[in-house]
């Protein structure tokens, strides 16, 4: 009874679906000028968020590289247009997972793990445009209000159910609970779809190749599969929606994003060379963070994808470190090979000599291993672990 | 029947619990052997107080309110200034920090928040006390530190101690208040309306030791009004070493 009368009033979930045969995403609505928060909820959220941004700006997690931040801002501007993009501030957060977030007041957090996985400007622009779509549609605010409506109703429902304690009222309350939580999660997924649609609208209008948006998700599916395979897990499903999923499944997104991309944009530039150039200084650091995640399959997949545009010394070094840190004897043999490849391309990589030496010693090749370690110390005499490494070298003959 | 009421209490309380810390009583502690005499010529650095004010929705969510927060901030600032004389020692307001020193301030604010939460959780809340600290607790040992890094805080050179202040208020919305009354009249379930948490701490700027901490999960005084915030600040600074606040 109560459930029936309550549901229309709830109305927090509108059905919003994009079919995989959708037409290309329409142009975004005209820019409405600088936005200021309105109403007590939004003012309050922005106020909290301004404080949060103040803390973020002084956080040790933020990568303070003016050039990199400016480059990301330029990519965002090229996607959403220079008028829109100035309402956001981008912070690169050193966090090796695939994510970017947008908060109500226009604070955009881009995780370093995202930058590692993107292969060109168009892919990056697809993600940044999606996040900007959340901002332009004020999703945080509507999500907060929907959550409040839902939890308010649950509080009243709980009260009513306890007034007439019976099996029926309890069951009704429980179904209400499930439908409220379910619709809140669905609401979140619908917001994501809407942001995807807007993001593709920006991308279609920009000078970048919109097909890249779908490739981001295809690539991520590949990584998740590789990670699951190497851990011996059941093959993950990319089409099923879990009850608590906050985002639509990767397969669905890859499908409709491909359909939303303007077909005539397929031969546009995707800025792969510019992207690699801009990220070149940070790539070794991001790779190192990724390897420390202890996700062998996923890391191997990322390195393989990056190597499609040619093996660099740092890629060989990263692959070698990945194998050495897993550390089976068979891995060490491979690692020796990869370190040697890195050294062949760049003979001044101290970390390659360090890893090579450690791997060689573990596989029984003491002499060559020690030679590599002394080379490491010669190249990097002030290394943090210099004293420990020196212990592994033959002692100087005492006088 | 019992299980229904239980599940209901759970449902109503579930959002309140996520914001309410697990301490309910007022507690304060002082490091053993620490004494701060009035007019001892010591200087206290007052760091930017953290103030959040909002409403509590019927379901228990925190609804931040910008206007109230601004008002409360101003009221608390004004009251702190007025109370400078009562603190018994000279106070210095921390200078605005830029660049690297802003990062140092941020890290220490976060560190202080974590340390004081740990004190509240594991020392003030008796049920959570660690078995390994039994002896310490029996002897009233209060030994916590932020480390000597605090001496790098901007303004630390000109002061001896730093004062940190945290404040969070969620005023029960009309809906929450009605729910509270109805729940009490109907099934007899107690629903908490509103949440007023605050804590203040004094840190030695040379050693980083936490010298004094006062925490209260049910504070009085409406910080949106000047008078109320005077009551609030005097509660926060109650038992402040070397002061007569809250004792007159």
Q: What is the CATH number of the domain that holds A384?
A: 1.25.40.10
Nearest to B66 among A47, A156, A173 (CB): A47
Pair (A82, A164) in one structural domain: yes
CB B214 within 8 A of CB B237: yes
CA dist A233 and A230 (Å) reads 8
**C-alpha atoms less than 13 angstroms from C-alpha of A119 in its C-beta half-sphere:** 20
Domain of residue A29, residue span: 2-267
Residue-wise pLDDT for A48-58, tens only, equals 999 999 999 99
**B246 occurs within a structural domain:** no
Pair (A107, A199) in one structural domain: yes
Residues of A in contact with B12 (CB under 8 A): 155, 158-159
pLDDT over threshold 50, residue A2? no
Provide the number of structural domains found in chain B: 1
Q: Which residue of B has its CA nearest to A169?
A: B4
**B232 occurs within a structural domain:** yes
pLDDT score recorded for residue B246: 63
**A263 occurs within a structural domain:** yes
Instruction: Give percent above pLDDT 70 in chain A.
Output: 95
**B245 occurs within a structural domain:** no
Q: Does residue B103 sit at the A interface (CB-CB below 8 Å)?
A: yes
Q: Does residue B214 sit at the A interface (CB-CB below 8 Å)?
A: no
User: Could A155 and B59 be called an inter-chain contact, meaning their C-beta atoms sit closer than 8 Å?
Assistant: yes
B61-96: b or e for each residue (b if 16 or more CB lie within 10 Å)? bbbbbbebbebbbebbbebbeebeebbbbebbebee
* Dihedral over alpha carbons A225, A226, A228, A233 (to 10 degrees): 100
CB A339 within 8 A of CB A356: yes
**B241 occurs within a structural domain:** no
**B114 occurs within a structural domain:** yes
**What pTM value is reported for the model?**
0.86
**A61 occurs within a structural domain:** yes
- Would you state the structure tokens that stand for residue B152, as one six-digit string? 């790098």
Q: What integer is the mean pLDDT of A173-192?
A: 94
* Dihedral over alpha carbons B125, B127, B131, B132 (to 10 degrees): 0
Residue-wise pLDDT for A207-239, tens only, equals 999 999 999 999 999 999 999 999 998 888 898
More confident residue, A42 or B87: A42
Domain boundary residue, one of A205, A240, A267: A267
ipTM above 0.95, yes or no: no
Q: What integer is the mean pLDDT of A176-204?
A: 94
A107-132: b or e for each residue (b if 16 or more CB lie within 10 Å)? bbbbbbbbbbbbbbbbbbbbbbbbbb
**B244 occurs within a structural domain:** no
User: Could B186 and A163 be called an inter-chain contact, meaning their C-beta atoms sit closer than 8 Å?
Assistant: yes
Nearest to A163 among B57, B59, B187 (CB): B187
pLDDT score recorded for residue B204: 92
Pair (A123, A251) in one structural domain: yes
Residue-wise pLDDT for A342-395, tens only, equals 999 999 999 999 999 999 999 999 999 999 999 999 999 999 999 999 999 987
**B56 occurs within a structural domain:** yes
Pair (A241, A341) in one structural domain: no
Backbone angles phi, psi at A43, to 5 degrees: -60, -45
Nearest to B106 among A48, A59, A148 (CB): A59
Pair (A217, A332) in one structural domain: no
- Would you state the structure tokens that stand for residue A94, as one six-digit string? 């050193």
Below-70 pLDDT ranges, chain B: 1-26, 246-248
Q: How many CB atoms lie within 10 A of CB B143?
A: 11
Pair (A365, A224) in one structural domain: no
Domain boundary residue, one of A232, A267, A302: A267
Domain of residue B33, residue span: 2-236
Pair (A74, A164) in one structural domain: yes
User: Could B65 and A40 be called an inter-chain contact, meaning their C-beta atoms sit closer than 8 Å?
Assistant: yes
Q: Does residue A58 sit at the B interface (CB-CB below 8 Å)?
A: yes
Q: Best of A36, A39, A47, A60 to disrupt the B interface by mutation (most B CBs within 10 Å)?
A: A47
In 3D, which of A358, A284, A365 has the Cα closest to residue A374?
A358
More confident residue, B1 or A39: A39
Q: Does residue B189 sit at the A interface (CB-CB below 8 Å)?
A: yes
**A296 occurs within a structural domain:** no
Q: What integer is the mean pLDDT of A328-351?
A: 95
- Computed over every residue of chain A, the mean pLDDT equals 90
Provide the number of structural domains found in chain A: 2
CB B29 within 8 A of CB B54: no
Instruction: Give percent above pLDDT 90 in chain A.
Output: 79
pLDDT score recorded for residue A325: 95
How far does the CA of residue B160 sit from the closest CA of chain A (Å)?
25
Q: Tell me the residues of chain A between 112 and 171 that have a Cβ less than 8 Å away from chain B.
A: 144, 147-148, 150-159, 161-163, 165, 169-170
**B243 occurs within a structural domain:** no
Pair (A259, A318) in one structural domain: no
Pair (A263, A369) in one structural domain: no
User: Could B12 and A159 be called an inter-chain contact, meaning their C-beta atoms sit closer than 8 Å?
Assistant: yes
According to DSSP, the β-strands at B161-172 and B50-56 are: parallel
pLDDT score recorded for residue B10: 46
How far does the CA of residue A58 sit from the closest CA of chain B (Å)?
4
From residue B236, how far is each of B110, B195, B218 by CA, in Å? 19, 15, 11
CA dist B120 and B10 (Å) reads 24
**A19 occurs within a structural domain:** yes
Pair (A216, A333) in one structural domain: no
Residues of A in contact with B5 (CB under 8 A): 162, 165
User: Could A147 and B60 be called an inter-chain contact, meaning their C-beta atoms sit closer than 8 Å?
Assistant: no
pLDDT over threshold 60, residue A8? no
pLDDT score recorded for residue A6: 42
pLDDT over threshold 90, residue A77? yes
Residue-wise pLDDT for B191-200, tens only, equals 888 889 888 9
């Amino acid at each position: 009874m109560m459930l029936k009368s309550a549901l229309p009033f709830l109305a927090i979930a509108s059905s919003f679906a994009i079919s995989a045969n959708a037409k290309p995403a329409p142009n975004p609505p005209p820019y409405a000028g600088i936005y200021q928060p309105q109403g007590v909820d939004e003012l309050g959220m922005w106020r909290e968020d301004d404080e949060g941004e103040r803390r973020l700006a002084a956080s040790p997690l933020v990568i303070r590289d003016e050039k990199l931040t400016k480059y990301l801002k330029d990519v965002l501007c090229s996607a959403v247009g220079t008028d829109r993009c100035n309402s956001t501030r981008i912070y690169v957060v050193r966090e090796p997972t695939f994510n970017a977030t947008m908060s109500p007041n226009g604070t955009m957090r881009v995780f370093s793990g995202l930058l590692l996985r993107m292969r060109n400007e168009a892919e990056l622009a697809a993600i940044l445009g999606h996040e900007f779509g959340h901002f332009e549609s004020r999703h945080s605010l509507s999500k907060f209000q929907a959550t409040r409506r839902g939890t308010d109703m649950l509080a009243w429902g709980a009260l009513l159910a306890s007034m007439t304690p019976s099996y029926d009222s309890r069951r009704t309350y429980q179904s209400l609970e499930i439908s409220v939580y379910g619709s809140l999660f669905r609401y979140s997924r619908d917001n994501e779809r809407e942001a995807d649609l807007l993001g593709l609208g920006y991308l279609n209008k920009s000078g970048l190749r919109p097909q890249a948006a779908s490739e981001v998700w295809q690539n991520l599916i590949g990584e998740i599969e590789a990670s699951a395979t190497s851990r011996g897990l059941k093959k993950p499903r990319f089409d099923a929606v879990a009850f608590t999923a906050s985002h639509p499944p990767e397969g669905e997104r890859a499908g409709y994003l491909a359909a939303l991309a303007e077909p005539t944009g397929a031969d546009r530039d995707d800025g792969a060379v510019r992207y690699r150039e801009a990220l070149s200084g940070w790539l070794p650091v991001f790779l190192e963070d990724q390897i420390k995640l202890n996700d062998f399959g996923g890391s191997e997949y990322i390195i393989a994808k990056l190597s499609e545009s040619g093996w660099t010394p740092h890629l060989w070094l990263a692959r070698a470190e990945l194998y050495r840190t897993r550390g089976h004897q068979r891995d060490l043999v491979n690692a020796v090979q990869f370190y040697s490849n890195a050294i062949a391309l760049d003979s001044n990589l101290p970390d390659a000599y360090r890893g090579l030496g450690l791997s060689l010693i573990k596989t029984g090749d003491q002499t060559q291993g020690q030679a590599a370690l002394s080379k490491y110390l010669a190249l990097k005499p002030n290394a943090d672990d210099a004293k420990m490494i020196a212990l592994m070298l033959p002692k100087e003959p005492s006088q | 029947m019992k299980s229904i009421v239980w599940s209901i209490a759970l449902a109503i309380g579930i959002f309140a619990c996520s914001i309410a810390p697990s301490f309910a009583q007022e507690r304060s502690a002082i490091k053993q052997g620490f004494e701060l005499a009035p007019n001892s010529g010591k200087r206290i650095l007052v760091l930017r107080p953290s103030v959040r004010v909002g409403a509590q929705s019927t379901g228990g969510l925190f609804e931040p309110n910008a206007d109230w927060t601004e008002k409360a901030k101003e009221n608390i600032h004004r009251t702190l200034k007025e109370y400078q004389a009562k603190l018994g020692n000279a106070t210095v307001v921390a200078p605005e920090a830029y660049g690297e020193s802003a990062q140092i301030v941020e890290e220490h604010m976060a560190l202080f928040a974590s340390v004081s939460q740990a004190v509240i959780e594991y020392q003030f809340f008796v049920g959570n006390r660690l078995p390994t600290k039994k002896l310490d607790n029996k002897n009233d040992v209060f030994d916590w530190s932020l480390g000597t890094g605090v001496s790098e805080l901007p303004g630390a050179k000109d002061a001896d101690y730093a004062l940190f202040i945290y404040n969070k208020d969620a005023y029960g919305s009309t809906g929450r208040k009605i729910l509270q009354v109805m729940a009490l009249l109907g099934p007899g379930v107690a629903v908490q309306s509103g949440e007023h948490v605050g804590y203040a701490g004094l840190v030695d700027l040379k050693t980083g030791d936490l010298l004094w901490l006062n925490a209260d999960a049910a504070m009085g005084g409406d910080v949106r009004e000047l008078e109320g915030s005077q009551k609030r600040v005097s509660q926060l600074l109650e038992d402040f070493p070397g002061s007569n606040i809250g004792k007159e």
